Structure 1
């Protein structure tokens, strides 16, 4: 019998912890003797997580756009090519934080026209503290998008529970229960959880293959139209790959490539002063005062630095994601850090 490739979709807003969970899933699959593959989507030009995911894990990168809009039609062909080229035992799709998961499900369903696949689960990672903050105001596109990501999930990972008190924990769990009464809720800190329990957990009162939210998990067996498959990439050649890619009207990104190492103290000062409109930033940097390279992550006023040794030719780069921030101001500040322009 021809192999049916299981697919897991990771959803969740910017900085919720999807990449941490992705890393735990990949480790788990390897321990099970399986060969995993990844489809990673970033709104910026450079997939920072992909640079450190490990060369042994086949990865299809979809950059400068979002699965659910500007390059959505590419997702099905990326999955098909990944299966044909690498023959993985399992695929994990990590969507950018601004993606509507129902659109991703539709795109993954389209891939079933090419290949025998089975979308097993849509897992949404929820930042507990951020959701609590958004729920106080109960308005804005970010709030509505997070609702959609939660409602579409077949399992919810309620992450960063160490950042909320006991009363808030109960409030958040009740909120998730109202928005999605079917999905099991798994509390976690840094997405530290039992992966097997997560993957095997089914909707409340139903088994994993039951009909959920009007959608039934099944695999479809259709012959691949190779010409259509090849043509599905045509529009990508005309896609705008400029440094300042805008998407979803309210969400935008800015990519900056460094030509020199920068001072770590000055960079941390710059990050601490980022406008609130910048929700997420990440990059790989070389600091001239430590002579080391670091993976840098920033989400909702918190930053983290991890010393790394990237493989191959990896540029020093940082990507900012947010709403209506001034790209020119960020560029000017970064050029000052590099000494390209003098300080006023």
Structure 2
């Protein structure tokens, strides 16, 4: 399986600098990296920073987390089919919500090949101090990127006083007490620190009031077709912490599995005219007890 890390953070926070540092360290560790990069514009500006010889796919002029989701799946699937590599580094656009970006990554076509290790958010420390001056929408996105991280880089600490540094760290810790926070300049961290990440269940759940999403993903494969009404009753009985399901469900009486989407309690069925893998990906919190009907 390929280890996958998702780099999140607002525009200009230092994600591409982190990516460059990690590419060097991954190769020094004797591993082969690959990169999937999302840019909002039509020009591949940041991807020029990826050196030759590193497998690279891009999504331009769109967002991995919304309209570009299907294109993202196609690019990652192509990358997995064409290249052999050990680590996949995904850099999102600064306008991406990390949870929605995670949803776009886990296509049922290749989810079983990926070992998602965690969301690494690069937080601009100066921007944190000025967050109350942002528009409500931008501020909300900035805080969401920090709230859902597994590892937070409080970056640009060299631009702050000691007092300001303490204010940033304590403030971020109050917003997300589950994640490890590292003070950085130039987004420099050791790759071994990222290797310690795991999206599995945390030992303590006492800080639930923070609203931290300890996201897990599970791939379910169907051994045989199911009755639609039975499957839909299963959906109604799912815990509220199942946020997303997508894949291909084989239904009794139909030749091909149906494309299936589920989010926020709403299900969508689409006919499929090819023999797709009968499997679904479930994304949520505390889903270890969820099983197929």
Please give the range of the TM-score, normalised by the shorter of the 2 chains.
0.5 to 0.7
TM-score, length-scaled by structure 1: 0.58
Q: Are 1:149 and 2:145 matched, yes or no?
A: yes
- Cα distance in 2 for partners of 1:221, 1:165 equals 50
Q: Is the 8 A contact 2:124 2:155 kept in 1?
A: yes
Q: Are 1:75 and 2:63 matched, yes or no?
A: no
Unaligned runs of 5+ in 2: 223-246, 249-255, 258-293
- Structure 1 residues 172 and 29, CA gap change in structure 2 (3 angstroms): same
TM-score, length-scaled by structure 2: 0.68
Q: Are 1:86 and 2:116 matched, yes or no?
A: no
Q: Deviations over 1:15-38 (max 9, x none)?
A: 100001001111111011111100
2:51 aligned partner: 54
Q: Is the 8 A contact 2:32 2:85 kept in 1?
A: yes
- Structure 1 residues 45 and 222, CA gap change in structure 2 (3 angstroms): farther
- Cα distance in 2 for partners of 1:128, 1:195 equals 22
- Structure 1 residues 220 and 118, CA gap change in structure 2 (3 angstroms): farther
Within a 5 Å distance, the mapping from 1:173-322 to structure 2 comes to 173-201=169-197, 206=202, 213-218=212-217, 220=219
- Cα distance in 2 for partners of 1:20, 1:222 equals 39
SS of 2:62's partner is coil
- Structure 1 residues 138 and 43, CA gap change in structure 2 (3 angstroms): closer
Following superposition, the deviation at residue 202 of structure 1 comes to 6.0
Q: Are 1:140 and 2:136 matched, yes or no?
A: yes
- Cα distance in 1 for partners of 2:109, 2:125 equals 34
Find runs of 4+ consecutive structure 1 residues off by over 6 angstroms: none
Calculate the aligned-residue CA RMSD, in Å: 2.8
2:231 aligned partner: none
- Cα distance in 1 for partners of 2:140, 2:16 equals 22
SS of 2:130's partner is helix
Q: Is the 8 A contact 1:120 1:217 kept in 2?
A: no
- Cα distance in 1 for partners of 2:168, 2:214 equals 26
2:266 aligned partner: none
2:238 aligned partner: none
1:167 aligned partner: 163
1:110 aligned partner: 107
Q: Is the 8 A contact 2:155 2:184 kept in 1?
A: yes
Following superposition, the deviation at residue 111 of structure 1 comes to 5.0
Q: Are 1:15 and 2:12 matched, yes or no?
A: yes
